[in-house]
Structure 1
Amino acid sequence: MILYIAEKPSLGRALAAALPKPQQQDEGFIRLGNGDVVTWCIGHLLEQAQPDAYDPAFKQWRLEHLPIIPREWKLEAKPKTRSQLAVVKKLLKQATEIVHVGDPDREGQLLVDQVISFCGVSSAKRDRVQRCLISDLNPSAVKKSLAALRSNKEFVPLSVSALARSRADWLYGINMSRLCTIQGQKMGYQGVLSVGRVQTPLLGLVVRRDQEIADFTAKPYFEVQAHLTTEQAQAFKAKWQPSAACAPWQDEEGRVLSQSLADNVVKRITQQNGRVTKAETKSRQQPPPLPYNLSSLQIDAARRFGLSAKQVLDICQTLYERHKLLTYPRSDNRYLPSEHFSQAGAVTQAIANTCTELAGAVSGADLSRRSKAWDDKKVAAHHAIIPTAKAMDGSKLSSTELKVYQLVARQYLAQFYPPWQYEDKLLELEIAGGRFVARARQQGSPGWKQLFAQARQANPAEPEDEELQSQLPELTVGETVFCVRGERLDKLTQPPRYFTDASLLAAMTNIARYVTDGELKKILRDTDGLGTEATRAGIIELLFTRQFLRREGKQIRATEAGAQLIASLPASATTPDMTARWESVLDAISRKQAGYQAFMTDLETSLPQLIAAVDVNAFKGLKGSGKAPNFKKRKGRVKTTKRKA
């Protein structure tokens, strides 16, 4: 008997739909027409054991126990899914062959691998386990995946990477949360102070941004604009570029802080001739944006529709699992395998049938055009999020489901449109000894941009560049212009903006920008982010649940408890540097370029130093805040939110 183990019931049902019939539905599994069986996990059936599983004394939270470092790691069955674990264990004993059908990411890999190991499957049978990677739940796509099974041994590094992350998160979270909660409660805080290697640096980003805004004092600065005409009476404007001699009157960003200096420039250039010193026209083109991964989709949906990261993920899961309109949504990849190119006709037709608003865009697509999105070398365990070849009546989708589907579909259709073409023009001028610059952008062929024009007019995602003019006169070096008048523009420096769902997600995916270590910044600039595609939405929501973050309209701000927690911790716990290093090493482990043991040993060695670095007295600021843990009985035992922090 072949046993197929899917990650979730929805995937199990989609898998069974592509396998032999007639089928018999049973409790926790489906028996196929040829005697094989499809079963499933329900997400994680297992979890890391709590500290008291290693030593009953750890039921009490005491400083002298820290750091808690298991010598032999244990897993426990999750109480709510214990019965399904029993079903899978029984079927594993009966199976002669096993097919691993976890989601195509490192969590999905580990999730099923751990169940197979926990249930005592023999090493000989484990060696024969095959891996099925499914990113599209429609029957034809599932059959194609079933025809391309691979040895599960190929994915051992992916599983080891996920295992290292799981255990490292346990070590760091358990020890730091216990320490901070104990010290906080000593100082009068009522509740649990959870600390995590991703959630706490993320909270730190928000706290520091809030503080920057609170501490910000607007400073006046000045720009000078020359209003010019050519000999043919063509009018345009140019902006003054201060010289090195003006440095004493400028701030660190080059803004002129002296009004008298600006006034002097205005006086000197008014009614004066100028001369063109540089005239440049460059024809440019921009290829279509790549299809979405989860983070880029969440960022766009937050900007356009005000949806939170969790809302977008939940909508995508529904479009993937229930409606089967999207491919696997928890993807960190923005490229497509070459074999998908041949499916473009079916996918675009499905888009036209599901979303009539995009029917015109489908008819205008050139399906012979291959963008840089199709690149096998850049596709890993999963590919970009795109529509499937399944169609349905779009009116049966909710309004937010349709909006998210349209975003994904439009991004996919853009791959079949030519580049956006435009011309950038630059004029540099010398007027009364000063240097002035004028820039313009003239639109050429809109290419893929025509698909986004209407959507951007309805809800623009990016502000226009104020310095770009629509056109400039055709001038050559040496030609003379006349400055009708100079104009002083009075401006004020602006504080940074509060984080929103979109900008906080963007910060998580571009964490190198917030890393303080210069060498690490270089390493991470184009690679790792804070958290993973699958976990970012949950981490943001967790901080709201812990009451460390709050919303004011679209703005995300820290609560008093969140701000005080960050003030109480050492910088190493509240900045992204440490977790960015972790993500870099974990990624290297998944590519067999780093080892599990070295990573874990390094963490175990650093834990005592981290614990010692926490400033006990700083917790005084938390006195009187927080909520006491909720106590509730479950199956004869008392469970507190403290134990599960």
Structure 2
Amino acid sequence: MKIKRLFIAEKPSLGRAIAKELGKGVTRTLPDKTADDGSVVKGAPSYIECGDGDVVTWCFGHMLEQAEPEQYDKKYEKWNIDDLPIAPGKDEWQLLPLTKSAEQLETIVDLVTEAEILVSAGDDDREGDLLIEEVFAHASATPEQRKTALRILISDLNPIKVQEALASMRPYHEFIPRMQSALARSRADWLLGMNLSRICTCLAKIKGYGEIMRVGRVQTPLLTLVVMRDLEILSFEPTTFFNVIGEFEKDGIPFQAKWVTEQRCLQKQAADNVIECLAQGNAQVTQCETKRAKAQPPLPFSLLTLQKLTSKKYGMSADTTLNIVQKLYEAKLVSYPRTEMTYLFTEKKAETAAIFDAIRTTPLMPEMVDWVNGADMSLTSGAWNDKKMAGQAHTAIVPLITCGQESDFLMKSNDAKKVFFEIIARYVAQFYPPAEDDNTVIELTHSTHLFRTTGKIERVAGWRTLLGHDKEEKDKDSTDQTLPALEMGSTLSCLNSSIKEGKTTPPKSYTDGTLLDAMSNIAAIVDDPAYKAKLKETAGLGTAATRAGIIKGLKENGYIEEVPSGKMTNLVSTPTGKMLALALPANVRDPVMTAMWEQQLEKIESGEYPFDTYMEKVAGQIITHIDAFKTGKYPFTLPESTATRCECQGYILRAANAKKPFWICTQCNKKYKDVNGVLGAAFSNKKKMETGMKDALKLAAQQAKAK
């Protein structure tokens, strides 16, 4: 079969969307298989033959993975400090097919050999570029194929948008710098993770710990954030403070005002003195002002802001939200999910009427018809902003003109309905007027003491009729009390006063939402002014596409765990997580290195920084880290192990990852039996084992004869 153009999509849903617009599609499947019970299992769809020599096939995300160290050299099967650092040469890096998708990959390789022009249809981001490039390399795409290769950019599975993308494909080579930034990240993460995990695990083993100490470029600084927050909470000691509340009255309208101090009042005697002062003389009105304030609707969602809201409102994990919105995207209900943006191109406003019509037909949420009917399409919020969108591939997450179609996933998942509901509500809110409030501030001066009260009265609900007040930060000093009209300079007597005692509270444990926020605003926790300034320019720890997976990885590795707290679910570090984070030197667990690497990756993407220079610099840093661990410059401090000691004073640890578990000394390598997970007797030498076996057989024979 001769192929004119071969489209390789990142996912089946994207591949099918492309094939539909190319037309004349005939689906080909993988070969049927015979199951263990003899039944025939039909082969899964593998590619689609379209008209005019076009063929569309697809990946299932990444089809290959970085080889393990032992694939480079058998000696790496055993973790040994002396073998570190491990660093493949520039042309030695290996990728291995994932078992679960190996058959599909073989089909793609066969198709590549028959294709004249290759078209990369990965997601429109650096990982999408790399994912398809890995397939090209594995299939040994020829220089001529690479020269003529094209890149199609699709972030909206709406048929019209797919057609537009097909008509505006670009040369593949334009995206090589972006692909190289993803490749650099992948290789740098491998170098750091493999080397530091191995040396920390080896050092831990010497100190009597059998756990694998997993260290990662992003994972470790993130774990440290959680551990440090937990230690702050653990070591927190509450402090008592005192507020003074004065009650005043004007024209029969009483109201309360709070004593204003630069810092919390920690001495009760100082508060008592204010109470005594209020009993004498009058207070003078030094400020009385009411202003009408407008609050614009909150912007449409980025993945981060959506994950934060679903965490706070519904207790969803970041990974759950990402998986849901990904499926909504694949069902052609919402736009591309892995986006950092909260803005839209102005041209997308032309789709509003069609989107509203689709929302009206949404079968699961009839109440939204009233929302749409109450919207004013002539209004324009700040969401449509070409200046903010300059150079961006993906918009905020919004409903598509196909959002009204039926979806089995939506029908069956209550969580999906909640996420879909929030995305639509936030979009429709852009066509509601601003909310308006009357904000009043009253300040009274009594002697040298200042008292203040504030009040807010909602005058126009606007977009709050859809979203309520969830998005807005409530002023902690604002009250719902009715405030009188006052004149500047007038005097009021204090009718009553009281002291309210309070206690400081510890910082709150992280949730998925607040941890995501910390990751995206990592500069806030860095003290060094030079690094803080630089980090404000970067995306923080991880990206929109990777943050949820990093948090999930910490959970799966047993370093953090979910702890229910009312309606929320807190994330707290486990004893193992604390032990690892506190054992590592500061410059390994510090987020500065991670964020600075990310900044350099961004420069590779823009063509400002060479790929090879970056990799040389990373390799040099890994060598420095390993040498520092080996020489003791980096202290890897762990609590005293409770593991059993061998006769040689080494620690006896369980080798549970062997085919048959056993126990072994970390120093003399003496082996011991495993008895249902418990340390047993030492293995005998071969001669003693043979003698013992003969004796046991002789005894068994004698017992049998006696019977």
Q: TM-score, normalised by structure 1?
A: 0.90
Contact 1:157 1:589 in 2 (8 A): yes
Q: Among 382, 388, 395, which residue is 2:394 paired with? A: 382
1:66 aligns with 2:90: no
Q: Which residue of 2 is the match for residue 234 of structure 1?
A: 253
Contact 2:538 2:598 in 1 (8 A): no
Contact 2:585 2:636 in 1 (8 A): no
* Residue 579 to residue 62, structure 1, CA distance change in 2 (3 Å): same
In 1, the alpha carbon distance for the partners of 2:65 and 2:186 equals 9
* 1:147 Cα offset (Å): 2.2
Q: Which residue of 1 is the match for residue 354 of structure 2?
A: 346
Aligned ranges 1:561-640 → 2 under 5 Å: 561-614=576-629, 615=634, 618-621=637-640, 624=643, 630-631=657-658
Rg comparison, structure with higher value: 2
Q: Among 245, 256, 260, which residue is 2:265 paired with? A: 256
Q: Deviations along 1:72-100, whole A, 9 cap, x unmatched? A: 24232324123322222222222122221
Q: Which residue of 2 is the match for residue 365 of structure 1?
A: 375
Q: Which residue of 2 is the match for residue 435 of structure 1?
A: 450
Give the match's secondary structure for 1:154. helix
Aligned ranges 1:393-432 → 2 under 5 Å: 393=406, 396-432=411-447
* 1:632 Cα offset (Å): 6.7
Q: Which residue of 2 is the match for residue 11 of structure 1?
A: 14
In 1, the alpha carbon distance for the partners of 2:217 and 2:104 equals 31
In 1, the alpha carbon distance for the partners of 2:298 and 2:144 equals 47
Q: Among 276, 288, 292, which residue is 1:279 paired with? A: 288
1:547 aligns with 2:558: yes
* 1:201 Cα offset (Å): 0.9
Q: Among 499, 514, 523, which residue is 1:503 paired with? A: 514
Higher mean C-alpha deviation, range 176-185 or range 613-622: 613-622
Q: Which residue of 1 is the match for residue 130 of structure 2?
A: 110
* Residue 536 to residue 607, structure 1, CA distance change in 2 (3 Å): same
In 2, the alpha carbon distance for the partners of 1:269 and 1:526 equals 51
In 2, the alpha carbon distance for the partners of 1:343 and 1:621 equals 65
Q: Which residue of 2 is the match for residue 170 of structure 1?
A: 190
Higher mean C-alpha deviation, range 30-39 or range 281-290: 281-290
Q: Which residue of 1 is the match for residue 60 of structure 2?
A: 42
Contact 1:192 1:629 in 2 (8 A): no
Q: Deviations along 1:36-91, whole A, 9 cap, x unmatched? A: 10011221122222223433332322112222222224232324123322222222
Aligned ranges 1:114-193 → 2 under 5 Å: 114-193=134-213
Q: Which residue of 1 is the match for residue 700 of structure 2?
A: none
Q: Which residue of 1 is the match for residue 405 of structure 2?
A: 392
Count, aligned residues? 616
* 1:22 Cα offset (Å): 4.1
* 1:214 Cα offset (Å): 0.8
In 1, the alpha carbon distance for the partners of 2:94 and 2:22 equals 33
In 1, the alpha carbon distance for the partners of 2:610 and 2:462 equals 47
In 2, the alpha carbon distance for the partners of 1:127 and 1:631 equals 49
Q: Deviations along 1:8-49, whole A, 9 cap, x unmatched? A: 122212221221214232332111133210011221122222
Contact 1:222 1:490 in 2 (8 A): yes
CA RMSD after TM alignment: 2.3
Gaps of 5+ in 1: 244-253, 634-645
In 1, the alpha carbon distance for the partners of 2:595 and 2:483 equals 46
* Residue 218 to residue 462, structure 1, CA distance change in 2 (3 Å): farther
Q: Which residue of 2 is the match for residue 447 of structure 1?
A: 462
1:317 aligns with 2:326: yes
Contact 1:298 1:312 in 2 (8 A): yes
* 1:223 Cα offset (Å): 1.4
* Residue 223 to residue 169, structure 1, CA distance change in 2 (3 Å): same
In 2, the alpha carbon distance for the partners of 1:509 and 1:629 equals 38
In 2, the alpha carbon distance for the partners of 1:397 and 1:526 equals 42
Q: TM-score, normalised by structure 2?
A: 0.83
* 1:292 Cα offset (Å): 0.9
Q: Deviations along 1:299-353, whole A, 9 cap, x unmatched? A: 11111111111111111122122x3211221222222222321111111222232
Q: Deviations along 1:153-189, whole A, 9 cap, x unmatched? A: 3322221211111111011111111111111122222
1:328 aligns with 2:336: yes
In 2, the alpha carbon distance for the partners of 1:479 and 1:607 equals 71
Give the match's secondary structure for 1:552. strand
Q: Deviations along 1:203-261, whole A, 9 cap, x unmatched? A: 1111111111110111101111221112x232222221236xxxxxxxxxx21110000
Which structure would you say has the larger RCO, counting Cα contacts within 8 Å and 6 or more residues apart? 1
Contact 1:46 1:75 in 2 (8 A): no
* 1:195 Cα offset (Å): 0.4
Gaps of 5+ in 2: 31-45, 645-652, 661-707
